[in-house]
Amino acid sequence: MNYFKNTLSVTSLVASSLLTGCMTQQIANTKHVDDAALKQLSSTKQTPEQICSAATTAVKQGHEASLNFYTPLHLEQAADNVEDGLEQIKSKETLNEGIKKCFKASKLIENGLAMKPKIESALKDSIDQLEMLKKVDSGKKFTDDIQDSADDVVDIAKKIEAGKMNEAMQDQAELIQDMLEIEIEIVTEKNLTAVEAMLERADDADADDLAPKTFEKAENELESAHKFIQSNYRKNKEVENISSLAMRAARHAYFVAKEVETFKELKPDAAEEKVLYIESLLERINKKLSQEPIVGNSLYDQSTLISKQIDTALEL
């Protein structure tokens, strides 16, 4: 799958990068790989250079097949054996050992390719969730979190390679929950960050003192939006609608506070009621002209919107 090979910073084709970090897992049942390499060593008619060249090609093919994601231990160990084999065939004393390691590398890649469908099937849920995170994170603001999750999937794949299927499935269940939390965080950030910033502007404008009712309503709308996203983060249209309501409420709190400030000679409660009353009069006119509410704008802008709607109606 190209996403894991190209987008996430997985293992490089260069053998040295395959060696970064010591392997904590070992492939299960590797004796048959060693036996196969010994058998090939005793019957081969190829030159050492041909054998190790074929092994090098196999490692490249393994990378192209994304074994660095699906069967990383096979690819890492194959790369190790190729590197050692290429060095050892340079000396007569270690020639046979070098040939054996190159044969082993090719066999590891062969086995890794054969095992890939099994791991791909076992990790389908976590792989699907990784794809979902990539899709949702259109702004590329959570790339590091997604990369960490991909690295965790690779660790789980290693456990399957090591024969620890039950443990791997338990780890996958926990990881999926973690990735769902990331998805919720992404959806929340995408839809409510601007709302929170607007409400902060209202707070800075002393809306909690100048327009407490309107400000409290805005806070409640924001809280409702947060709660809704927690349970309905994939209902895109509904999330968009409730976020828009929260934004309108936050803008309303801000502009009501700014208007109340112009009535400082009045007590805040009376001033707020005065602004809300003026808004209600404007909204009565607006409803005759449009289905879209105009609250969430300054009183001047609300009157401008109504004026434009009247001009449009008169032109018909």
Question: Per-block average pLDDT, block size 10, for the chain (316 residues)?
Answer: 35 33 64 70 80 94 96 95 92 90 91 95 97 95 96 96 96 97 97 97 95 96 97 97 97 93 79 88 87 87 89 79
Distance from C-alpha of 258 to C-alpha of 254, rounded to nearest angstrom? 6
- Same domain, residue pair 82 and 195: no
Q: Could you tell me if 20 and 103 lie in one domain? A: yes
Q: What DSSP state is assigned to residue 28?
A: S
How many folded domains does the chain comprise? Answer: 2
Residue that finishes a domain, picked among 65, 92, 119 = 119
Tokens of 97: 């050992």
**If you ran DSSP here, which 8-state letter would residue 265 be given?**
T
Place of tokens 């707020």: 272
pLDDT of residue 269: 83
Same domain for 113 and 195, yes or no, is no
Residue 169 lies in a domain: no
Three-state SS sequence of 264-286: CCCCHHHHHHHHHHHHHHHHHHH
C-alpha span between 70 and 116 (Å, rounded): 6
CB-based contacts of 306, cutoff 8 Å, min separation 6 = 282, 285, 286, 289, 294
Q: What are phi and psi of 295, to 5 degrees?
A: -65, 155
**Domain-embedded: residue 52:** yes
**What is the spatial distance between Cα 282 and Cα 38, in angstroms, rounded to a whole number?**
89
In-domain check, residue 167: no
Same domain, 197 and 84: no
Based on the fold, state whether residues 90 and 202 are members of the same structural domain.
Answer: no
Q: Are residues 101 and 197 in the same domain?
A: no
Nearest to 214 by CA among 265, 266, 277: 277
Range of the domain at 305: 191-315
Report the alpha-carbon distance of residue 1 to residue 22 in Å, rounded. 26
Q: What is the pLDDT of residue 262?
A: 80
- pLDDT score at 4: 41
- Residue 254: CB partners within 8 Å, gap ≥ 6? 198, 199, 201, 202, 205, 207
- Residue pair 53/3 in contact (Cβ under 8 Å)? The answer is no
On whether residue 285 sits in a domain, the answer given is: yes
Pair (108, 195) in one structural domain: no
Pair 109, 207 in one domain: no
pLDDT reported for residue 25: 72
pTM as predicted: 0.76
